[in-house]
Amino acid sequence: MSTTPQKSWIPGADNSDFPLAHLPMGVRVRPDGSHALVSRIGDQVVDLRVLAEIGVFDDTKADRKDFAQKSLNQLIGRGKAVTSAVRTRLAACLDDDPGYWDLRSRKEIFLLPAKQAKLVLPIEVGDYTDFYSSIEHATNVGTMFRDPANALLPNWKHLPVGYHGRASSIMVSGTPIHRPKGQTTPGEDGKPGFGESKLLDFELEMAFVVGQGNKLGAPIDVKNAEDHIFGIALFNDWSARDIQKWEYVPLGPFLGKSFSSTISPWITPLEALEPVRLASPKQDPTPLPYLQHAGSNNFDIKLEVYITPEGGEPSKVCASNTKYLYWSMAQQLAHHTVNGCNLRPGDVCASGTISGPTPDSYGSMLELSWKGTKPVTLSDGSTRKFIQDGDTVTMKAFVDGGGVKFALGSVEAKCV
Ligand code: MN
């Protein structure tokens, strides 16, 4: 579709976080308990199921029933050509051209105030993979826990390192986080500790959602990889550092990660991000041919993290950007499938913590407080090494460039 932003007939929409250039996708539960796929413009939620039932998407190769599902999976599994056609048609309904003029007189049947819409987890996540694609984050962690002179392990610049995460505990923004219990590193008596994690942390990540999958044994070529990515969403990959530290050798993260991750209710289609494409950082050494792709494969998306103490005001503790990611989403997807592994619609691949080059851009408390040695001061004067009970962690993301400006759906969770 054209990425030229057009004006909407909905008052104020084009100066909001959700202008016509954005049109994210999500799922609502209606008061009668049924589900509907939705989008958002200005302060209005657009019920796509209503539009589908009056035939608006009939010539897009989407089925009317796709819009009445509990998740986006069925629709996005049809592939990029279909989801792009739906997006183009939706934009035509909401833009200033008179093509769908008759809908305006019936707007109350498909628009409702965002505050009245109950949004749910927008995808059924069959599998969740977490990568480790920020060179700054990997370098910081390697420096803290291993050897500053050899912070990156020998494989890191040759492949996007990742592990298989837990899909069942991915929750939609707003779901509380329960502090996990687990084993921790033995003390002087040689016995492991056990109890609630004392080192609860967030990880600022961006997740991509797989649209059309691939068959077992049929890898996805890096050059076509974005055809298999429906969109992206902010993602907080909660981590218990003390549990993680004791358990992770030799098979990697387990209970220190699997207790929960939080995802935005709004998935932003890749098409909306075209205006803020940019080149990834230069890769040296050049990766193997199956990971090589020319052109602009990264995105300029500003990221922020806030901590709000119980009853207090939010303090910004981090400002980062997806442009720092060393490995692109296309490279992650090509690597994930190069062995023939099949991905399915709704699978989630998260980037790994996105840290930038400066200390105020680090995407976890582990790095911001440098393993607890440099407490972070909040606006009320209190300090944090890690996340305390009652704290709410909020992640925000913005694009501002190429003629478009909008905010991606935020991610928020309170530690209880
Ligand atoms: Mn992670």
The structural domains of the chain, with segments of one domain joined by +, span 25-120, 128-414
Mean pLDDT computed over 224-249: 97
How confident is the model over 12-62, as pLDDT tens digits? 999 999 999 999 999 999 999 999 999 999 999 999 999 999 999 999 999
Mean pLDDT computed over 299-305: 98
CA-based R_g, the chain, Å: 21
Q: How far is the CA of 80 from the centre of ligand 1 (A)?
A: 27
CATH architecture of 128-414: Alpha-Beta Complex (3.90)
Q: How far is the CA of 280 from the centre of ligand 1 (A)?
A: 20
The percent of residues in the chain predicted with pLDDT above 70, rounded, is 99
Confidence of residue 6 (pLDDT cuts 50, 70, 90): confident
Catalytically annotated residues: 137
| CATH number attached to the domain at 25-120 | 2.30.30.230
pLDDT of the residue at 98: 80
On the 0-12 / 13-18 / 19+ scale of CB atoms within 10 A, 50 is: middle
Q: How far is the CA of 235 from the centre of ligand 1 (A)?
A: 9
Q: How far is the CA of 367 from the centre of ligand 1 (A)?
A: 13
pLDDT of the residue at 137: 97
Residue 230: closest CA among 211, 255, 253, 245: 211
SS3 (DSSP) at 40: strand
Confidence of residue 1 (pLDDT cuts 50, 70, 90): very low
The size of the chain, in residues, is: 416
Extract the tokens encoding 361: 């851009």
Least confident interval from 99-103, 196-200, 334-338: 99-103
Confidence of residue 324 (pLDDT cuts 50, 70, 90): very high
pLDDT of the residue at 4: 58
Extract the tokens encoding 143: 């420096």
pLDDT of the residue at 353: 98
Strand intervals (E) in 9-108: 25-29, 35-41, 44-47
How confident is the model over 56-94, as pLDDT tens digits? 999 999 999 999 999 999 999 999 999 999 999 999 999
